Amino acid sequence: ASAQIGVTGLAVMGRNLARNFARHGYTVALHNRTAAKTRALVEEFGDEGSFVPTESAEEFVAALERPRRLVVMVKAGEATDAVIDEFAPLLEEGDMIVDGGNAHFADTRRRERKLRERGIHFVGTGISGGEEGALNGPSIMPGGSKESYKALGPMLEKIAAKAEDGAPCVTHIGPDGAGHFVKMVHNGIEYADMQLIGEAYQLLRDVAGYSPARIADVFRTWNTGRLDSYLIEITAEVLKHSDPKTGKPFVDVVADAAEQKGTGRWTVQIALDLGVPVSGIAEAVFARSLSGHTALREASGHLSGPTPKPLEEAEAARFADQVEQALYASKIVSYTQGFHEIAAGSAEYGWDIDLGAVASIWRAGCIIRAAFLDRITAAYARQPELPSLLSDPRFASEVEGAQGDWRDVIGTAVRQGVATPGFSTALAYYDALRAPRLPAALTQAQRDYFGAHTYQRVDRDGTFHTLWGGDRSEVES
Ligand code: NDP
pLDDT digits (tens, 9 = 90+) for 221-270: 999 999 999 999 999 999 999 999 999 999 999 999 999 999 999 999 99
Contact 40 CB / ligand 1 (< 6 Å): no
Residue nearest to atom 38 of ligand 1 (CA): 130
What pLDDT is attached to residue 159?
A: 98
The distance of Cα 350 from the centroid of its chain, to the nearest Å, equals 21
ipTM beyond 0.85?
yes
56 has a pLDDT exceeding 90: yes
The string of pLDDT tens digits covering residues 204-214 is 999 999 999 99
Pocket test for ligand 1, best of 38, 71, 74 (most atoms within 8 A of CB): 74
CB distance 467 to ligand 1 below 6 Å: no
| pLDDT given for residue 300 in this prediction | 93
**What average pLDDT does the segment 274-291 reach?**
98
Bridge-based pairing state of the strands 96-99 and 50-53: unpaired
Atom 6 of ligand 1, residue of closest alpha carbon: 74
pTM: 0.97
Predicted confidence at residue 301, as pLDDT, reads: 87
Among protein residues, the one whose CA lies closest to atom 23 of ligand 1: 11
- pLDDT number for residue 1: 73
pLDDT tens, position by position, 413-428: 999 999 999 999 999 9
Q: Could you report the per-residue pLDDT of 384-424, keeping only the tens digit for each? A: 999 999 999 999 999 999 999 999 999 999 999 999 999 99
The answer to whether 185 and 46 are in contact (CB under 8 A) is no
- List the catalytic residues: 183, 190
Ligand 1: centre distance to CA 417 (Å): 42
Across 70-79, average pLDDT: 97
Q: Give me ligand 1 centre to Cα 70, in Å.
A: 15
